[in-house]
Amino acid sequence: MTEVKREVFGQMPKEEGGGVVEKFILKSDSVKVEILSLGCIISTLETKGRDGKFSDVVLGFDTLEGYTRKHPFFGAVVGRVANRIAKGKFTVDGKEYQLFLNNGPNSLHGGAKGFDKVLWSPQVLPNGVCFFRLSPDGEEGYPGDLKVWVSYTLSDGELAINYRAQTSKTTPINLTNHAYFNLAGQGSRDIYDHTISIEADYYLPVDDTKIPTGEVAAVQGTSFDLRQPVELGKHLQQFGLDGFDHNFCLQQQQARRLVARACHPPTGRAMEVHTTQPGIQFYTGNNLDGSLKGKGAATYPKHSAFCLETQNWPDAVNKPHFPNTLLQPGEEYNHSTWLVFKTA
What residue numbers does the annotated binding site for beta-D-galactose cover? 83-84, 178-180, 245
Set 178, 246, 274, 335: catalytic member: 178
- Catalytic residue list contains 309: yes
Report the 3 state secondary structure along 301-341.
Answer: CCCCCEEEEEECCCCHHHCCCCCCCEECCCCCEEEEEEEEE
Q: Which entry of 34, 46, 139, 309 is annotated as an active-site residue?
A: 309
Residue 284's closest CA among 312, 304, 299? 304
Q: If we measure between CA atoms, which residue out of 258, 238, 242, 262 comes closest to residue 250? A: 258
CB-CB neighbours of 232 under 10 Å: 23
Residue 110 three-state SS:
coil
β-strand partners of 270: 263, 342
Distances, alpha carbon 46 to alpha carbons 26, 29, 32, 120, in Å? 10, 11, 5, 23
Residue 51 dihedral angles phi and psi, to the nearest 5°: -80, 0
Measured CA to CA, the distance from residue 142 to residue 343 in angstroms comes to: 42
Q: Is 215 a catalytic residue?
A: no
Q: Which residues are catalytic?
A: 178, 309
